[in-house]
């Protein structure tokens, strides 16, 4: 297939009142797309006008609090061999666009078709600084591109999932940036509560997402109860359960229950080896108690686990880069181990070379090392 002549990529986006960010998104990817499909679910601002600068394929879809239904409708309008989905508040930075261009050429030349392509997502969560933030807060991986003829379908009214079943998959090192300018916790929680009321219960991923929304609303008692209910179910997604254990521990921290806090973290080990963010949380428990040896142990475990990643679940990027170095440096300093404190502060600076706090720590720790050597 000649991708330039016959076309390869259909981009599908569902929108509602995205005038502020839609052009940013489409500017970043429009040169790579052979077809852009915008499904508007009831905008009252200039979203449709913005979309019209990039495509004629703009469709209206009645909004019924069902993201999966809207995404499925957008996929149904696609005509190219591969369908890519994005949200309006996402974008593809220039280096990542170059990678996607190379992937496009590769897919056009493949004899055996790839069914599903996974891309990473980097979330820059501070909406007020979204235009300029340089470090992601969370990262995750999701199936972003699928072969149209396989007719993959979305499921879930909110926090929807693309059901890929058994498919020929390709993992890539391409990263999409998610830079939100709005918070949708209230909307999402309303949809989930209505959904659970109609079903007469909350379970599985619906319960998991409801717990997360309560957690974001700082309703820790409700969130903890929902996470506990989720973890008592006989089966479920491994990644969801690990995240539930981590957030349940934070709920108990906020509620002042130290025993349940630590037990929740250790409970995550049922679902696999300790992961970096879990280890950081365990270390934090012991650091707060000024048990420096235990805190250092778990921060070092976090550092050792960084290279293994966390699969596809959303994780704190800081826990997988600079944060455990900063925190273990602080613990070493509190214990008077200046050489190790200085070493880990230096390692943190490799991730944050211009950070003024770390640069200040460098001077203080160097002075402490010099005094120690003179003794």
Interval 100-137: pLDDT, tens: 999 999 999 986 789 999 999 999 865 444 444 467 88
Query: What pLDDT was estimated at residue 302?
Result: 98
* Co-location of 8 and 106 in the same domain: yes
* Co-location of 64 and 161 in the same domain: yes
Query: What pLDDT was estimated at residue 226?
Result: 97
User: For residue 153, which of 141, 143, 168 has the smallest C-alpha distance?
Assistant: 143
* Co-location of 174 and 81 in the same domain: yes
In a domain, 303, yes or no: yes
User: For residue 324, which of 363, 369, 280, 368 has the smallest C-alpha distance?
Assistant: 280
Task: Annotate 103-136 with DSSP letters as a single string.
Answer: HHHHHHH-SSPP-EEEEEEEE---GGGTTT--S-
Last residue of one domain, picked from the residues 144, 178, 212: 178
* Co-location of 202 and 293 in the same domain: no
Task: Annotate 7-46 with DSSP letters as a single string.
Answer: --EEEEEEESS-TTTHHHHHHHHGGG-SEEEEEES---SS
Buried b (16+ CB within 10 A) or exposed e, 113-125: ebbbbbbbbbbbe
* Co-location of 243 and 268 in the same domain: yes
* Co-location of 161 and 198 in the same domain: no
In a domain, 125, yes or no: yes
In a domain, 299, yes or no: yes
Query: What pLDDT was estimated at residue 4?
Result: 46
CA dist 75 and 158 (Å) reads 17
Distances (CA, A) of 292 to 120, 260, 296: 36, 21, 6
* Co-location of 297 and 221 in the same domain: no
* Co-location of 21 and 121 in the same domain: yes
Residues in the chain with pLDDT values less than 70:
1-5, 111, 125-134, 374-375
CA dist 137 and 121 (Å) reads 11
Q: Which domain holds residue 97?
A: 3-178
**Which CATH number fits the domain that encloses residue 226?**
1.25.40
* Co-location of 169 and 256 in the same domain: no
The structural domain count of the chain equals 3
Last residue of one domain, picked from the residues 157, 178, 199: 178
* Co-location of 143 and 264 in the same domain: no
Last residue of one domain, picked from the residues 158, 178, 198: 178
Token pair recorded at residue 36: 């852009």
Query: What pLDDT was estimated at residue 374?
Result: 64
In a domain, 200, yes or no: yes
């Amino acid at each position: 297939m000649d991708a330039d002549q016959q076309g390869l990529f259909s981009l599908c986006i569902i929108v509602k009142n995205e005038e502020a960010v839609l052009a940013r998104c489409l500017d970043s990817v429009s040169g790579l797309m052979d077809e852009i499909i915008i499904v508007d679910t009831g905008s009252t601002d200039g979203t449709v006008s913005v979309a019209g600068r990039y495509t004629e394929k703009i469709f209206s879809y009645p909004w019924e609090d069902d993201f999966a239904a809207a995404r499925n409708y957008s996929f149904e309008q696609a005509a190219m061999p591969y369908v890519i989905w994005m949200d309006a508040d996402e974008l593809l930075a220039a280096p990542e666009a170059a990678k996607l261009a190379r992937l496009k050429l590769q897919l056009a030349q493949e004899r055996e078709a790839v069914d599903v392509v996974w891309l990473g997502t980097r979330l820059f969560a501070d909406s007020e600084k979204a235009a300029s933030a340089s470090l992601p807060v969370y990262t995750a991986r999701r199936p972003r591109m699928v072969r149209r003829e396989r007719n993959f379908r979305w499921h879930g009214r909110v926090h929807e999932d693309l059901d890929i079943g058994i498919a020929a998959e390709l993992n890539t090192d391409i990263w999409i940036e998610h830079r939100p300018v709005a918070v949708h916790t209230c909307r999402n929680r309303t949809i989930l509560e209505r959904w659970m009321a109609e079903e007469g219960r909350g379970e599985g991923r619906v319960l998991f997402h409801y717990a997360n929304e309560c957690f974001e609303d700082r309703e820790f008692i409700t969130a903890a109860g929902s996470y506990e209910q989720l973890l008592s179910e006989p089966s479920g997604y491994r990644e969801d359960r690990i995240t539930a254990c981590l957030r349940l521990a934070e709920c108990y921290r906020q509620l002042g229950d130290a025993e349940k806090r630590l037990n929740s973290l250790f409970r995550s080990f049922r679902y696999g080896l300790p992961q970096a963010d879990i280890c950081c949380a365990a270390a934090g428990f012991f650091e707060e108690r000024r048990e420096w040896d235990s805190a250092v142990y778990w921060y070092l475990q976090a550092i050792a686990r960084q290279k293994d990643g966390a699969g596809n679940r959303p994780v704190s990027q800081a826990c997988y880069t600079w944060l455990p170095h900063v925190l273990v440096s602080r613990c070493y300093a509190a214990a008077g181990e200046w050489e190790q404190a200085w070493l880990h502060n230096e390692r943190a600076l490799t991730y944050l070379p211009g950070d003024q706090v770390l640069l200040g720590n460098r001077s203080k720790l160097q002075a402490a090392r010099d005094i120690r050597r003179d003794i």
